[in-house]
Amino acid sequence: MANLLQDASMSCAAGVQPYNGGKVQSAEELLIDICNPQLRENALRELCTKHREELFQVLAPSIWKSFGTVAALIMEIVSIYRLLPSPELTLERSNTVCNALIVLQSLAVNPETRIPFLDACIPYYVYPFLKLTSHSTPLEKLRISSLGIICGIVKEGETKAIKFLLVTEVMPLCLSSMDIGDTLSKQAATFILQKMLSHDMGLEYICTTVARFLAVVQTLKNMVVFLSEKPSSELLKHIIQCYIRLCDDSRARDKIRYYLPDRLKDATFSNCFEEDPDTKMSLQCLLCIVNNA
């Protein structure tokens, strides 16, 4: 989980060069600068490059309690809506908003700020980025940054967090990201699906209607096809765990044997299994469950 969040935030900051002019500012000074529209871009860049470790480990409570910082971050995010999905959206502009999203991600990850973060309904502001269908680099960066926030929310599998995401209909947005995102977006979105399924509330949500169940298994099948062309043992592990968890519901288990992709039954992923024997064991477990259903 930690590696996934780090990969997501690092991907969004890739290509962003830290500002080297002037004095080296402390994280506290940068938080003040975020509230100034003229200083915000540089402050976000500095905070997400030079103070990244501090940001995720200790700064979240200070950010949440500081005057105007969260509001300034939201203003930065909302300001880009009018450019979606316009070609006017530049990589530089996208990077600035991604840095704002990374700061919000620290609030979603931190156990002290996660629930207040949800109570304030701040995740609503990132949902528009999960509705994008473009594959352009600026928009893909926004997608993975937003998924990083959702990953932080589901990190501990708290009931309130899972309920919030289900009520706000984030599941279809994750399925869409699994279908159209790049490999890192697919991995993050599948991790979110796995974490939501691991909670009884999430499993019931998926299996209570045929439409939801079919949407999930069709997306998982599409992911397996994608992996047969671009293998990833980490992504394959998440997919198999999703299938295994679905089998914990008797209604789903009876149907999984008919919807399980043939590529999971043959030697398509033998190379992945050589790198990750644990995933091979998980697949064997899944096949045993399905065959005995």
Q: Can you list the alpha helix ranges (DSSP code H) found in 79-182?
A: 91-109, 114-119, 127-130, 137-154, 159-167, 170-180
Higher pLDDT, 101 or 254: 101
Structure tokens at 86: 């316009």
Kindly list the domain boundaries of the chain, sorted by start residue. 1-156, 172-293
Mapping DSSP to helix (H, G, I), strand (E, B) and coil, where does residue 237 land?
helix
pLDDT mean across residues, the chain: 90
Name the nearest CA neighbour of 201 among 249, 244, 240, 146. 249
Q: What is the pLDDT of residues 168-227, one digit of tens each?
A: 999 999 999 999 999 999 999 999 999 999 999 999 999 999 999 999 999 999 999 999
CA angle, 128 then 207 then 244, to 5°: 95
In this predicted structure, what is the pLDDT of residue 154?
Answer: 96
CA atoms of 258 and 224, how far apart (whole Å):
15
Furthest-apart CA atoms within the chain: distance in Å = 67
Question: For residues 154 and 195, is the Cβ–Cβ distance under 8 A?
Answer: yes
Per residue in 104-159, pLDDT (tens digit) is 999 999 999 999 999 999 999 999 999 998 889 999 999 999 999 999 999 999 99
Predicted confidence (pLDDT) per residue in 246-273, tens digit: 999 998 998 998 899 999 988 888 887 7
**3-state secondary structure string, 220-234?**
HHHHHHHHHHCCCHH
What's the CATH fold of domain 1-156?
A: Leucine-rich Repeat Variant (1.25.10)
Query: pLDDT at residue 6 above 90?
Result: no
Q: Which CATH superfamily is domain 172-293 in?
A: Leucine-rich Repeat Variant (1.25.10.10)
pTM, two decimals, is 0.90
Amino acid 3: pLDDT: 55
- The tally of CA atoms less than 13 A away on the side-chain side of residue 128 is 13
